[in-house]
Amino acid sequence: MMYRSNRLILFGLLAAWPAIAEENMDIDLIPRAIQDQMAPVVDRAPASGPRQRIYFENANTLASLRAGLLVPFPSQRPPTWQEEFFIDARKEWSLLKNFNFAYSGRMNLRVEENLPIPRTENVRHDFREGYLSWEALDRTYLDLGRINLKSGVALGYNPTDFFKSRSVVEALSSDLTVLREDRLGTLMGRAQHVWAGGALSAVFAPRLFNPRSIYTNLGLPSFNPMFDRTNAHGRVLVKGNANIAGGVSTEFLIYHEGNRFQLGANVTEELSHNIVGYAEWAGGRRASLIDDALRYGKQTGSIPVRTPSALPEDGHKSFQSDLSVGASYSTETRITFNLEYHFHQAGFSQRDWNNWFNSGSGLPAYLSRVPAQLWYIRSYALDQQEPISTHTAFLRADWVDAFFPKLELTAFINIDLFDGSAFVQVTADYYLSNAWTVGGLVTRNFGKYRSDHGSLPQSSALLFKVARYL
Amino acid sequence: MFFRSGLLPALVIGFSAAAYGQTAQEIIAGTDRVRNPGQPFHSIDILTEYVSGRPKAQSHLAVYSKEDPSTRQFRNLIVYIEPPRDAGKMVLLDGHYFWFYDPASKASVRISPQQRLIGQASVADVLIVNLAVDYRGTLVGTEAIQDADRREHQCWHLDMKAADDRASYNRVEYWIEKGTFYPIKGKFYSDSGRLLKILYYKAFQDRLGGVRPTVGIIIDAVDSALVSTINFLEARFQDIPDAWFQRDYLPRLKAE
C-alpha cells in the first residue's frame, strides 16, 4: 500500500515537473543586485522624519490671453509670464509632555509681468499655520493658534469646507488638491476628542478684523499674515464623525458665521472593490452669490455705495443648498477616476448668465463701472472658493507610474453644465529621485465667447517646475 | 492530456498531502503565525524599488498593526517617513474603511480596496494579513520549489480564494515550507484573474518573539521591470489604542 502510494507521489511529481520548473523561472525576474544581496544604492535625501517637509520649488508660467472679450476686463489683465521661487516648510515640534507646536508656511520670491524687481511685493511670506496643541486627556486635544481646518470628502468642490473662503493666497494650479496646500489657516481655538468609534470637534474663531477688499495679484503684502482674510467674522463649528456598519462613514457639521447658520453632512461608502461613492451637502439661509458679492464690494469700498447694481438684485435670503456627489473608480493599471456633480444653488442660473453677458457687452467707455461690477462678482466667487455656476460637472484622473515608472499624470476637467464650456488642466510630475521632482502643467479654457469659461481673459497657460526636497 | 492539464498530478499530490493530516486552513493559519505575532506591533519598513534591475527609489514606512479581535483581520496604519516629498502622508487600512491622509492639504480621502493597492503602502496588504481569515484555501499538493536564493524547499502549494469582499485580492497562491510553515512564495491575482504580484520571503530571523521573514521581494507581474524589496527593521511590540484607527486621529499621530 505504502509502495503504491509512493509510486503515485513520484508519478505526480514527474508529471508536475514542467509546472514547477516554470514556477522557479520567476526568480529570474529578481534583479541581480538583490540576488547577490548587494546593498541598494539609492540617491536619497537624509532622513527628515514624518513630522516635517521642506522643499524648494521654481516655477515658470507662460500664459496666452484672449482678445475681444464680450465683457471687457476692467483692470489690469492677468500676467502673460511669471517666475516664482519659493521655500515651503511644514514642521512639528514636541515641547513639554503632551505639548506640540506646528508651523507651516511658504516664502516666495516672484517676478511677473507688471511686477518688476525690485518691489516689496517681490517677496512674500504666506503664514499658513502656527499653533500650539495640548493633549489634555487621552486623545482629548486643545489647539490654539492659526489652524488650517479642512472638512469634506469630495475632490472638486467641498460645500462643508467652511473655512476655505478667502484662504487661498495665490494659485499655481487650479487643482483643488494643490490649492489646499497653500491656503491660510484661521486663528481659532479647537477642542477635539477622538475615540474608537468616532471623533467630535468644537471650533471657535473670533472676529478680529473688519473685512477688507479682495486682494489683487499685485497687491499682496510681503510680511503680513492677512488675518483680515480669515478672521473678519466670528465663527463656530461643531462636527462629529462615525463609521456606520456596512462600510458607510458619516460626518455631520453645524456652522455659524456672523448671523448665518449652516448645516452640513458628509457620507462615503465603499460600493465595490474599485468604487467609493461619496456625497457632501451643506445648506442654510443665505443671499444669492450676486447679492453677496455686491454687498461685500460696497462694504469694503470696492464698489461705490450709491452705484446702481449692474445686475438685478434679489435682496431676500432663502434656504440654499450646496452639494457634491460623486464616485471614485480605480483600475488595475493604477488610474483613479473621480466623477462629480456640483450644485451651488446660490450661484449663477442661466438667466443670471444671460444678464451678465447682456449687461456687460457693447457698452460705451463712460459706462466702465458696469463691467467692473460684473467682473467683481466673478472675482468674489473665486476669492470665496465658490463655484460661479449653479450646475457643474468635474472629472479627474490620476495615473501613477503612467507609461513608465515614477511618472504621475493628473488631468481634470471642470464643465459648466449651462453652456458646456470647460476648464482643463493636465499635470505631469516625474520623480527623478527621492529628492528631485520635475513637472509641468497645461491649462486651457474652452468655450464660446458667450460662455462661462470662454469669457475669461486667460486662454491657456503653461507651467514648468523643478522641486528639491530636503 | 490529463498530465498536460495538471489535473491528475494535482489530484494525486493533493490526496497524498492530505495524508499528512494537515488541512489547508490549518497550514494557512500556521504560516500566519510565522509571519504575524499575536500582539500589536510597530515596525519601520524600508521599501526599495528597482526599475529594470537598478535601484530607483526608497521609501521608509512606519507601520502600526493590530489584529481586530472581532474579525481577526489586521488593522494597519502606515506612515510615510521617506521620501521627503511624501513625509507624513498616511494610509489607514481597517476592514472596509480605507483612508489616505495628506498633511500638506489636511485632506482625508476615502479610497477603495483597489486604490489601496496603488502605492508603496500596498505592501502591508501583502505582508501583514491573516490569510486564514481573508481566504479559503485548497491544498494543491506538495512541490519542491526554489526560494529567492535558489535553495530548494519542500512546500505545500495552496490555492486560496477570497473569503469575502474584505480580502485585498481575489485569489492567492502560496507555497509554504512543510514542517516549519515558513512562507516561501506567494502569487496575488486581481478580480479579473490577472497576476498582479509575485512575492518571495527570505532572511528568516528571530523577530517579535519568533523566527519570521525579515525581507520580502515583490515582483510586479503587470510590469516585471518593477521589483521591490521590503526590509522589516526595528520591529517591536507596542500598545496601539483602537482610536488610532479613526480617520480623525491621523493628523494627531506622532509617528517615529
Per cent of chain A over pLDDT 70 is: 91
Q: Which chain B residue has its CA at the smallest distance from A279's CA? A: B110
A96 CB near a chain B CB, below 8 Å? Answer: no
Helix (H) or strand (E) holding B3: helix B2-5
Q: How far is CA A86 from the centre of its chain?
A: 19
Cβ–Cβ gap B113/A11 under 8 Å: no
**Per-residue confidence (pLDDT) for residue A38, from 0 to 100:** 52
Q: Looking at residues B242-252, what average pLDDT do you find? A: 94
β-partners of residue A464 are: A60, A440
| pLDDT band for position A316 (cuts 50, 70, 90) | confident
Residue B229: its chain A contacts at CB < 8 A? 34, 40
Cβ–Cβ gap A52/B87 under 8 Å: yes
**Per-residue confidence (pLDDT) for residue B2, from 0 to 100:** 37
Which has more confidence, A90 or B56? A90
Q: How far apart are CA B123 and CA B108, in angstroms?
A: 20
Could you give the C-alpha distances from A253 to A88, A260, A263, B251, B255, in angstroms and in order?
31, 14, 6, 19, 29
Question: Least CB-CB distance to B227: which of A11, A29, A192?
Answer: A29
Omega cis (within 30) before A457: no
Q: Kindly state whether residue A2 falls inside one of the protein's structural domains.
A: no
Omega cis (within 30) before B83: yes
Residue A350 Cα, gap to closest chain B Cα (Å): 33
Range of the domain at A64: 47-469
Q: Which chain B residue has its CA at the smallest distance from A10's CA? A: B13
DSSP string, B105-149: TTEEEE--TTGGGSSGGGHHHHHS--HHHHEEEEEEEEEEEE-TT
Per cent of chain B over pLDDT 90 is: 57
Residue A197: its chain B contacts at CB < 8 A? 246
Residue B9, pLDDT above cutoff 50 = no
Chain segment B146-188, per-residue pLDDT in tens: 999 999 999 999 999 998 877 888 999 999 999 999 999 999 9
Q: How many residues does chain A have?
A: 470
- Identify which of A44-58, A274-288, B16-30 has the greatest average pLDDT: A274-288
A118 CB near a chain B CB, below 8 Å? Answer: no
Average pLDDT over chain A reads: 89
Cβ–Cβ gap B96/A149 under 8 Å: no
A4 CB near a chain B CB, below 8 Å? Answer: no
Total CB pairs under 8 A between chain A and B:
264
**Of chain A residues 208-227, which have a CB less than 8 A from chain B?**
none
A42 CB near a chain B CB, below 8 Å? Answer: yes
Q: Indicate the Cα dihedral angle B28, A331, B232, B185, nearest 10°.
A: 40
Place of cell 465667447: A449
Q: Kindly state whether residue A38 falls inside one of the protein's structural domains.
A: no
Q: Kindly state whether residue A36 falls inside one of the protein's structural domains.
A: no
Residues 6 or more apart in contact with residue B210 via CB below 8 angstroms: B33, B34, B37
| pLDDT band for position B13 (cuts 50, 70, 90) | very low
Could you give the C-alpha distances from A402 to A69, B47, B84, B188, in angstroms and in order?
38, 20, 21, 22
**Per-residue confidence (pLDDT) for residue A100, from 0 to 100:** 95
Residue B80, pLDDT above cutoff 60 = yes
Helix (H) or strand (E) holding A439: strand A436-446
Residues 6 or more apart in contact with residue A411 via CB below 8 angstroms: A396, A397, A424, A425, A426, A427
| pLDDT band for position B52 (cuts 50, 70, 90) | confident
Q: Of the candidates B118, B164, B195, B84, which has an alpha carbon nearest to the alpha carbon of residue A91?
A: B84
Chain segment A345-401, per-residue pLDDT in tens: 999 999 999 999 999 887 776 677 889 999 999 999 999 999 999 999 999 999 998
Q: Kindly state whether residue A460 falls inside one of the protein's structural domains.
A: yes
Could you give the C-alpha distances from A59 to A86, A114, A134, A189, A409, in angstroms and in order?
9, 17, 38, 35, 18
Residue A109, pLDDT above cutoff 90 = yes
Q: Of the candidates B221, B156, B228, B224, which has an alpha carbon nearest to the alpha carbon of residue B192?
A: B221
Work out how many domains chain A is built from and give that number.
1
In CATH, the number for domain B2-250 is 2.50.20.10
| SS3 call for B117 | helix
Compute the radius of gyration of chain B from its Cα atoms.
18
| pLDDT band for position B125 (cuts 50, 70, 90) | low
Cβ–Cβ gap A198/B103 under 8 Å: no
Cell of A186: 484661521
A48 CB near a chain B CB, below 8 Å? Answer: yes
Q: Name the pTM for this structure.
A: 0.89
Cell of B74: 489586521
Per cent of chain A over pLDDT 90 is: 69
Q: At what angle do helices A2-24 and B7-18 cross, to 10 degrees?
A: 120
Residue B252: its chain A contacts at CB < 8 A? 139, 141, 194
Could you give the C-alpha distances from A22 to A27, A183, A418, B14, B145, in angstroms and in order?
10, 55, 59, 20, 10
Q: How far is CA A217 from the centre of its chain?
A: 19
Q: Which chain B residue has its CA at the smallest distance from A6's CA? A: B16
Q: Of the candidates B234, B158, B232, which has an alpha carbon nearest to the alpha carbon of residue B202?
A: B232
**Per-residue confidence (pLDDT) for residue A49, from 0 to 100:** 77
A240 CB near a chain B CB, below 8 Å? Answer: no
Q: Are strands A81-94 and A52-65 parallel, antiparallel or unpaired?
A: antiparallel
Least confident stretch, A21-30, A142-151, A450-459: A21-30
Cβ–Cβ gap A194/B104 under 8 Å: no
**Per-residue confidence (pLDDT) for residue B239, from 0 to 100:** 94
Residue A154, pLDDT above cutoff 90 = yes
**Per-residue confidence (pLDDT) for residue A35, from 0 to 100:** 74
Do the beta carbons of residue A415 and residue A422 sit within 8 Å?
yes
Residue A26: its chain B contacts at CB < 8 A? 185, 198, 200, 219
Question: Least CB-CB distance to B88: which of A51, A181, A437?
Answer: A51
**Of chain A residues 65-84, which have a CB less than 8 A from chain B?**
none
| pLDDT band for position A24 (cuts 50, 70, 90) | confident
Cβ–Cβ gap A55/B53 under 8 Å: no
Cβ–Cβ gap B226/A181 under 8 Å: no
- Residue type at position A235: R
Q: What is the CATH number of the domain that holds A79?
A: 2.40.160.10
Question: Least CB-CB distance to B104: which of A181, A273, A467?
Answer: A181
